[in-house]
Amino acid sequence: MSRRILGIETSCDETAAAVVEDGQKVLSSVVSSQVEIHGRFGGVVPEVASRAHVEAVLPVVGEALAVAEMEGPDLDAIAVTHGPGLIGALLVGVSAAKALSLAWDVPLLGVNHLEAHLYAAFLEEPDLEMPLVVLLVSGGHTMLIVMDGHLQYRVLGSTLDDAAGEAFDKVARHVGLGYPGGPIIDRLAAQGNRDAIRFPRAMMADGWDFSFSGVKTSVVNHMRHHPDTPVEDLAASFQEAVADVLVTKARRAAAEVGARGICLAGGVAANSRLRERLREGCAADGLRSFLPSREMCTDNAAMVAAVAWHRLAADGPSRLDLGAFPSLPMPDE
Ligand code: KG4
Ligand code: ZN
């Protein structure tokens, strides 16, 4: 019998809801972004985010159900991101999910946001072969993960300082480009020369961890000393340094663990040059590359409902006293 799960996502600055059947078929996926609200502050303001989630969460859930042509009580489960993320933002989603679970008498399930990002790829490529190396690159996280099977992960490395997306956002802010920095730098870089400036590639040769605060500082210092540098060249050279480190390490990890392919996940996975470098690198190594669509890379609730289908079968539902955990770690076997 097919199972239809409502996913709810409010961990950062997108209020999202989706209905997914059997972890596979997206019946609806609604995302209400707060980017414009936070744009004038140059970054996400937690209290502003929580308030915006309070206003948006029920209308977004209502729209997701309407598009899926379903009523709440017909759902088989309600899955909600309960960490990691901003505590106030998470609590809005978790509280709404609990209330709806009680009102509709539908089981509740807390979902890990990082694990959800990994499952975005499976919605578009159900037959992803494992072992698989996943590069999870978002505004809050940068992780190199090996997926040996469904719900089986090994975290090889993560960032020691800034996340990849954070580096994009901070560089853009320092150079006065706007927010969020990732898409703006991506767009400018398309017109620039990626070999114009050789920015440092920290930790490219050692270990599995990453560090992006050095390259960020180098970009800011370069602009201070050479203010006439075309911003397009700066963007392209910075983006190249980040993509170089990420792709080089992911390819090395794939070789070491005998992976079948490499998959991208998280908001930075929308980056054009990272996608291009990964596609070329995998082709050279005889690996498959999985590049989820840009909508699936950034925060959404379809990925929450997708992983929930696997988690529900493995662990059963959560209790109604489910908590919210701002630093919830990636499950690691
Ligand atoms: O996964 P996500 O939507 O939210 C988090 O869970 O963090 O990722 C947001 C991050 C932001 O830092 C944003 O600048 C970055 O993803 N991003 C990009 C691009 N699109 C979004 N970074 C580089 N290139 C892009 N095209
Ligand atoms: Zn995310």
Q: What is the pLDDT of residues 185-197, one digit of tens each?
A: 999 999 999 999 9
Residue nearest to atom 3 of ligand 1 (CA): 298
Rounded distance between C-alpha atoms, residue 217 and residue 118, angstroms: 30
Give yes or no for residue 40 having a pLDDT over 80. no
User: Which residue in this structure is represented by tokens 């599995």?
Assistant: 208
115, 138, 185: which to mutate for ligand 1, most atoms within 8 A of CB? 138
CA nearest neighbour of 143 among 215, 212, 210: 210
CATH class of the domain at 128-294: alpha beta
Which ligand gives the minimal distance to the CA of 44? 1
Q: Is 317 in the pocket of ligand 1 (CB under 6 A)?
A: no
Per-residue pLDDT of 112-134, as tens digits, reads 999 999 999 999 988 889 999 99
Q: Is the pLDDT of residue 299 over 70?
A: yes
Looking at residue 79, the DSSP 8-state letter turns out to be E
* Count of alpha carbons within 13 angstroms of residue 74, beta-carbon side: 11
| pLDDT the model gives residue 61 | 98
CA distances from residue 313 to 22, 109, 179 in whole angstroms, order as listed:
10, 11, 40
Dihedral sign for Cα 277, 279, 284, 287, please.
positive
Q: What is the band of 332 on the pLDDT scale with cuts at 50, 70, 90?
A: confident
Atom of ligand 1 nearest to the CA of 141: 7
pLDDT of residue 83: 97
Res. 99: pLDDT tops 70: yes
Give the distance (Å) from ligand 1 centre to CA of residue 13. Answer: 11
The protein residue whose alpha carbon is closest to atom 8 in ligand 1 is 267
Ligand 1 atom nearest the C-alpha of 140 is: 7
Res. 41 pLDDT band, cuts 50 70 90: confident
**CA-CA distance, 263 to 265, in Å (whole number)?**
7
**pLDDT value at 241 more than 70:** yes
180 in ligand 1 pocket by Cβ < 6 Å? Answer: yes
pLDDT digits over 197-208, tens only? 999 999 998 899
Quote the pLDDT of residue 135. Answer: 97
The 10 Å Cβ neighbour count of residue 149 is 10
pLDDT value of residue 131? 96
Quote the ligand 1 centre to 76 CA distance (angstroms). Answer: 31
Pocket test for ligand 1, best of 175, 268, 278, 304 (most atoms within 8 A of CB): 268
On the question of pLDDT at 233 being above 70, the answer is yes
Mean pLDDT of 159-183: 94
pLDDT digits (tens, 9 = 90+) for 45-87: 888 889 999 999 999 999 999 999 999 999 999 999 999 999 9
Range(s) for CATH 3.30.420.40 in the chain?
Answer: 4-117+297-315, 128-294
Does the Cβ of 182 fall within 6 Å of ligand 1?
Answer: yes
Confidence of residue 317 (pLDDT cuts 50, 70, 90): very high
**How high is the pLDDT of residue 272?**
97
* Tokens standing for residue 269: 């996975």
Evaluate: CB of 138 within 6 angstroms of ligand 1. Answer: yes
The pTM (predicted TM-score) of the whole model is 0.94
Q: Is 148 exposed, middle or buried (0-12, 13-18, 19+ CB in 10 A)?
A: middle
* Distance between Cα 293 and ligand 2 center (Å): 14
User: CA 161, CA 167: separation in Å to the nearest integer?
Assistant: 10
Ligand 1 within 6 A of 267 CB?
A: yes
Is a pLDDT exceeding 90 seen at residue 13? no
CB distance 13 to ligand 1 below 6 Å: no
Kindly report the CATH number that applies to the domain delimited by 4-117+297-315. 3.30.420.40
Q: pLDDT confidence of 37, banded at 50, 70, 90? A: confident
For residue 333, pLDDT over 70 is answered with: no
Q: Which pLDDT band, with edges at 50, 70 and 90, does 230 fall under? A: very high
Provide the H-helix boundaries in the chain: 35-39, 46-67, 87-104, 113-124, 164-175, 181-189, 213-225, 231-257, 272-285, 294-297, 302-315
What value does the mean pLDDT take over residues 224-252?
Answer: 97
Q: Atom 14 of ligand 1 has which residue's CA nearest to it?
A: 182
CB 168 within 8 A of CB 273: no
CB-proximal residues (5 Å) to ion ligand 2: 138, 299
